[in-house]
């Protein structure tokens, strides 16, 4: 994959009109994230619009429920032809196993490509102090992320969503074809906003990230096209 194919830009807007205007304004972006706000606002119609434009889709709904419900949701998502789908690893092995099996069955029965199903290890907005004092998890974020990632791999899922700061540690214990999707990535020239555990895009790719989710540094820039290209150029230089 080229660097530009590894950057996923979020459509964090409330309407289909705003989302498609953003997509059409950045034709060089091939991979877009549809999250909770947009999906709940528009329903699956936005996925069909993106596919009609030959875009790849990261459906980031972070599903977290009982096994039967997770299975049904993943089967439905597979029918939409999305490329990556997110679950919460903390739903547990039974739910992750049921989700994967349902997606595989649906893909076979409908002759639809199986999406890459990845599990969220720990939200990048949660820092070490919050993990310990609010969630009462007696592990450091990196150790907790590794535990969730290894469970995800054991189940057979294709990767995890993790903080870029955890990528190096995860890569030491996980195979190279196990995808690491990293939100919370910020160039040095952009604000960190509400992300607590960040690296630059170049640093994240050098550490072993597979995909980077980069939103506001691009979409909130006065010149989104130039911002996207600047990030691609910086990453390409760092990896060469």
| Contact (Cβ atoms closer than 8 angstroms) between residue 72 and residue 105 | no
Q: Maximum distance among all alpha carbons in the chain?
A: 47
Written in H, E and C, the secondary structure of the chain is CCHHHHEEEECCCCCHHHHHHHHHHCCCCCEEEEEHHHHHHHCCHHHHHHHHCCCEEEEEEEECCCHHHHHHHHHHHHHCCCCEEEEEHHHCHHHHHHHHHHHHHHHHHHCCCCCEEEEECCCCCCCHHHHHHCCCCCCCHHHHHHHHHHHHHHHCCCEEECCHHHHHHHHHHCCCCCEEEECCECCCCCCCCCCCCCECHHHHHHHCCCEEECCHHHHCCCCHHHHHHHHHHHHHHHHC
Closest CA to 182 of 132, 117, 122, 229: 122
Say how many C-beta atoms besides its own lie within 10 A of residue 107's C-beta.
Answer: 17
| Contact (Cβ atoms closer than 8 angstroms) between residue 139 and residue 159 | no
Residue 55 is a catalytic residue: no
Catalytic residue selected from 33, 62, 93, 140: 62
The residues carrying an active-site annotation are: 62
């Amino acid at each position: 994959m080229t660097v530009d194919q590894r950057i996923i830009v979020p459509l964090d807007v409330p309407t289909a009109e705003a989302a498609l205007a953003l997509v059409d304004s950045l034709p060089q972006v091939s991979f877009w994230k549809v999250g909770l706000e947009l999906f709940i606002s528009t329903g699956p119609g936005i996925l069909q619009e993106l596919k009609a434009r030959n875009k790849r889709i990261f459906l980031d709904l972070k599903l977290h429920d009982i096994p039967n419900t997770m299975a049904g949701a993943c089967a439905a998502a597979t029918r939409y032809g999305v490329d990556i789908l997110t679950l919460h690893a903390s739903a547990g092995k039974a739910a992750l196993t049921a989700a994967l099996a349902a997606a595989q069955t649906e893909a076979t029965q409908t002759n639809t490509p199986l999406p890459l199903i990845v599990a969220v290890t720990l939200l990048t907005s949660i820092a070490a102090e919050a993990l310990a004092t609010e969630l009462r998890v007696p592990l450091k974020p990196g150790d907790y992320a590794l535990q969730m990632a290894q469970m995800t791999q054991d189940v057979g899922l294709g990767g995890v969503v993790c903080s870029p700061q955890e990528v190096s540690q995860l890569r030491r214990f996980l195979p190279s074809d196990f995808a690491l999707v990293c939100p919370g990535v910020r160039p040095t020239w952009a604000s960190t906003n509400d992300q607590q555990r960040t690296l630059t895009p170049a640093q994240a790719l050098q550490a072993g990230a597979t995909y980077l989710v980069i939103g506001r540094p691009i979409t909130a820039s006065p010149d989104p096209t130039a911002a996207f290209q600047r990030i691609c150029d910086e990453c390409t230089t760092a990896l060469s």
